[in-house]
Structure 1
Amino acid sequence: MVTLTGNTLSMEEIKRILHDNEPVEACPLSMKKVADSRKAVEEIVASGKVVYGITTGFGKFSDVFISRDDVETLQLNLIRSHACGIGEPFPETISRLMLILRANALLKGLSGIRPVVIERLLDLVSHGVHPVVPQQGSLGASGDLAPLSHLALVLVGEGEAYYKGERLSGQDALKRTGIEPVVLTAKEGLALINGTQAMTAQGIAAYIEAERIGLMADAIASLTTESLRGITDAFDEDVHIARGYKEQVEVAERLRNYLEGSQLTTKQGEIRVQDAYSLRCIPQVHGASWQVLGYVKEKLEIEMNAATDNPLIFDEGNKIISGGNFHGQPIAFAMDFLKLAAAEWANISERRIERMVNPQLNDLPGFLSPNPGLESGAMIMQYAAASLVSENKTLAHPASVDSIPSSANQEDHVSMGTIASRHAAQIIANARRVLAVELICAMQAADFRGPEKLAPKTKKVYEHGRKVCPTIQCDRMFHRDMEAVASWILDGSWNDILIGTKTQKLAH
């Protein structure tokens, strides 16, 4: 059981929730803070005091006073009018994460929401009711208003939700699970939608996938090194300690571990003095991407425990401040940075693919074809990888440098963090497919070299990979192979192969 406190949620707990279906509960002490914060809101409404979002309109309408009799209508109107998401919906995993993250943020007790609303959010999680949330339409400041409004609509019995594989109306989903809809009162609609949970949820899912492909990238690159008779001197520990980057040292250590016992790798001068950069600089390039992942994880773990709505209620209601914690700039930067890390895994992977398929760069059959000329072999697989790498370069353009004023220029600088997180997810998916092509080519090259000569650990990768993608004996439709290997990399079942390589085991 993962207990949400508003302050302690970790990436490892998120993995357990998503991949092991570990249940979630609210901390009783945190719920007491929530109840105490709620009293302040009720006193404001009763007194008729003017406080943004409680007794006023929103955005440019912040100067419009709302009477006590209209506070419920105000909150319902808010989420209905703000549910302006467009495009394809987020995967259910992201929607589920949004529910958990929003509940956790509200459990900080700074939002003035009633405990029952948090209970309903967690009821949706426990029953597997996942709001249908369109991916596009958020500016990432004032938070993820449009996505979170679609999420909030399900709480009141409106909108749409996924339940047991069906897409239902929110009302039907609640009826089937016996969950009572809530009637939102003062500040509750605003507290539900003023936040960064869409960009953060997508960012977390992207980070977890990036972590997986990063580990597999090191293993695949090792197999490629053997297939190209690579020089292992470049991975010597002294070289990497001399530079001083921890992540670079760790990648080099993994490569040495994977390649230990190989009969295919070489030393300086045996065949050539030094390798091309795509082999020689694997620790430097992969290590730099791992540095980015460390930064991204730190920012995501801060954000998943952050109060990101407005206004915030402090000191038992004696201090209520309108601020800007909903602004997604920290996550926008982190996601743009993550895009670069994943794109570089793909960039260098595609160059290694080229070195395996180009007969002018190796002593293998042209394009790894069993019958070069009559059969094209891996020729067009390299095209496909090159296309994905090129697409990544356009997606890698930073979303965070853009801003468009909104709400009659009241909200005149926005983060575009949700766009950044969505593009990060696309780049990571593309990188995974590029790595799948590299693995297919490395296994085929190993067939020509003799799989029995592989190092014990890379041989395990080869053997498990061959269960997913058979040896290429003649041309076939390689689309299925590429997608099958890409899915295998994503599902994490290969992780046990890598145990003993001083890598942290992933939750799956």
Structure 2
Amino acid sequence: MAEHDLINDVSLDGHADADNAAAEAIVIGGHRLTIEDVVAIAERRVPVALSDDPAWRSRIERGADFLRRHLASGATVYGVNTGYGDACVVDVPMDLVEALPLQLTRYHGCGMGVHLDDAQTLAVIAARLNSLAYGFSGVRPVLLDRLADLINHRVLPRIPSEGSVGASGDLTPLSYVAAALVGERDVLFEGQLRDASGVWAQLGHAPLTLAPKEGLALMNGTAVMTGLACLAFARADHLTRLVARLTALSTVALDGRAAHFDEMLFEAKPHAGQAEAAAWIREDLTGRADTPGHRLQDRYSIRCAPHVIGVARDALTWVRRDVENELNSANDNPLIDPDGERVLHGGNFYGGHIAFAMDSLKVAVANLADLMDRQLALLVDDKFNNGLPRNLSGASPARAPINHGFKAVQISSSAWTAEALKLTMPASVFSRSTEAHNQDKVSMGTIAARDCLRVLELTAQVAAAHTLATVQAMQLRLRLNETTVVPAPLHAFAERVTAQSPFVDEDRALEYDLRALTARIVDCALIDDFRGAPIV
């Protein structure tokens, strides 16, 4: 591909090359997955393969075998020969036990809202597959095989985004994954909406008949919130790098002071995240010397940018820990111990860690939107931008009276920022008692993850607006002073942006440019892990 992304020299379009079809598979079973593994699966860059370790497969088989024997002995197991939730006191006759899992998938088919997109759907399936592969769920190997088939053949259940309270797991949205396996409801396949049973026939498989507990194992877990959280982490990680770069570029455009990012300042206040952000900005400003004549101190949105970005960087460290712990957990109920041959009734489906992580991350990300919006406001205002034209207009003097440059872009950026800030209300504090007060304290983790992704989407729009405006401002600064030092990383970055969105000399509609750039920012967040990666 000829194009390059705005941070690293990687694909812009966010889609895999055909060559990636032969990429080495990510192995499920017997080891921990990372957020980056889930992102790679979600972006269709790698297939999955179940472990070929005989000990791992034996563990899966022993769990399913023990559950069968346990039931045959007359034992009572929640959700296997009892009703669900508050109906756990209802005994299910043995002649109906086989039918019970299908009933669960059907009555939870009441999701609403927009459907998860392809990447989100694949992330959800990967998270559910990995959890079941820990061997505490009592499912058969064939169930894991079919989940892997959903990923590898891109058989994508149409999962509505609304309807989960995050405990007892993501029941309603995950019912659409279970329904796809049994050949019910619609799936996306080869770009078309298809009946699931017809797709399985085309692939040479019969729809799966769920064994006792397999419906519950598929649905009673945190896979939706966890899959979405993996994507949110990757996007937030990328945005912190982009905001640091835009801060450096804004410093040049405003003729600001590189000394605000001196290493000693951040040694004196040793938060690792802000030191990291300052180092990125300092590296981007290498070779730039401060000149007298302007303010002794730049305004907070420039001078304190590492401190704002640093909060998000430090938050990402523990967000990674909690998201990856959830990803690599058995989070359904009950759990089946294949070694001790015990059935453990508990609450591992509770998504509190994901809820808190996503509530916290969306606050940190919204602060990035606010930071960029403040920087953009300085750039467009000729009272504060150290001599740049009003609204960053590039028009000739004769045409200047009727040109308004980035005036409307700044207004739109302010609107997107306000909406992002509004969405920072924590979802996790809005627990509702549901299901006859059996689910009387719930996590709201999936709502928190969805909110976080929406905040990230809005922040990417702000970043796109800020990117176009800051590159325009840098070019205007060079017009004012040809000797302005633009360090090489910033110069290369600006050239790549300008190649896609030319300098605005005469007013034009910028919607297409903004949409294209926003898509690139979001897509690039799902390509590489930018921690420690070179920024040019």
TM-score range, shorter chain: over 0.9
The residue identity in structure 2 corresponding to 1:74 is: L
> What is the TM-score when the length of structure 2 is the normalising length?
0.90
The one of 470, 477, 499 aligned to 2:509: 477
Counterpart for residue 492 of structure 1: 524
**Segment of structure 1 superposing worse, 331-340 or 31-40:** 31-40
Matched residue SS, 2:206: coil
In the superposition, relative to structure 1, how do residues 493 and 406 fare at CA in structure 2: closer, same or farther (>3 Å)? Answer: closer
The residue identity in structure 2 corresponding to 1:395 is: L
The residue identity in structure 1 corresponding to 2:389 is: P
Aligned residues of 1:75 and 1:185 also touching (Cα < 8 A): yes
Deviations 1:426-451 (A, max 9, x none): 10011111011111111111111118
In the superposition, relative to structure 1, how do residues 405 and 505 fare at CA in structure 2: closer, same or farther (>3 Å)? Answer: farther
The one of 88, 106, 124 aligned to 1:62: 88
Instruction: Calculate the aligned-residue CA RMSD, in Å.
Output: 2.0
In the superposition, relative to structure 1, how do residues 88 and 495 fare at CA in structure 2: closer, same or farther (>3 Å)? Answer: closer
Counterpart for residue 532 of structure 2: 503
> Deviation of residue 68 (structure 1)?
1.8
The one of 376, 385, 394 aligned to 1:370: 394
Alignment of 1:28-43 (within 5 A): 28=53, 29-43=55-69
- 1:327 maps to 2:350: yes
Matched residue SS, 2:99: helix
| Distance in structure 2 (CA, Å) of the matches to 1:118 and 1:294 | 31
The one of 500, 503, 506 aligned to 1:468: 500
> Deviation of residue 315 (structure 1)?
5.2
- 1:13 maps to 2:42: no
The residue identity in structure 1 corresponding to 2:419 is: E
Deviations 1:398-437 (A, max 9, x none): 0000111111001101111101000100100111110111
| Distance in structure 1 (CA, Å) of the matches to 2:405 and 2:81 | 68
Matched residue SS, 2:46: coil
Matched residue SS, 2:311: helix
The one of 331, 337, 342 aligned to 1:314: 337
Number of aligned residues: 500
Counterpart for residue 461 of structure 2: 433
Which runs of 4 or more aligned residues in structure 1 lie more than 4 Å from their structure 2 counterparts after TM superposition?
493-496
Counterpart for residue 255 of structure 1: 281
- 1:207 maps to 2:207: no
The one of 400, 404, 412 aligned to 2:432: 404
Task: Extract unaligned runs of 5+ from structure 2.
Answer: 1-24
The residue identity in structure 2 corresponding to 1:272 is: R
Matched residue SS, 1:492: helix
Aligned residues of 1:403 and 1:415 also touching (Cα < 8 A): yes
> Deviation of residue 318 (structure 1)?
3.2
Matched residue SS, 1:121: helix
The residue identity in structure 1 corresponding to 2:259 is: D
> Deviation of residue 317 (structure 1)?
5.5
> Deviation of residue 114 (structure 1)?
1.0
**Segment of structure 1 superposing worse, 191-200 or 36-45:** 36-45
> Deviation of residue 280 (structure 1)?
0.3
Counterpart for residue 83 of structure 1: 109
| Distance in structure 1 (CA, Å) of the matches to 2:431 and 2:504 | 49
Matched residue SS, 1:431: helix
> What is the TM-score when the length of structure 1 is the normalising length?
0.95
Percent of paired sites with the same residue:
34
In the superposition, relative to structure 1, how do residues 10 and 493 fare at CA in structure 2: closer, same or farther (>3 Å)? Answer: closer
Aligned residues of 1:123 and 1:179 also touching (Cα < 8 A): no
Matched residue SS, 1:167: strand
Aligned residues of 2:42 and 2:120 also touching (Cα < 8 A): no
The structure whose residues are more often helix, as a share, is 1
Aligned residues of 2:376 and 2:469 also touching (Cα < 8 A): yes
Task: Extract unaligned runs of 5+ from structure 1.
Answer: none
The one of 167, 172, 175 aligned to 1:146: 172
> Deviation of residue 14 (structure 1)?
2.4
Deviations 1:219-249 (A, max 9, x none): 1111111000111111000000110011111
Alignment of 1:242-321 (within 5 A): 242-262=268-288, 266-267=290-291, 269-314=292-337, 316=339, 318-321=341-344
Aligned residues of 1:6 and 1:104 also touching (Cα < 8 A): no
Aligned residues of 1:6 and 1:306 also touching (Cα < 8 A): no
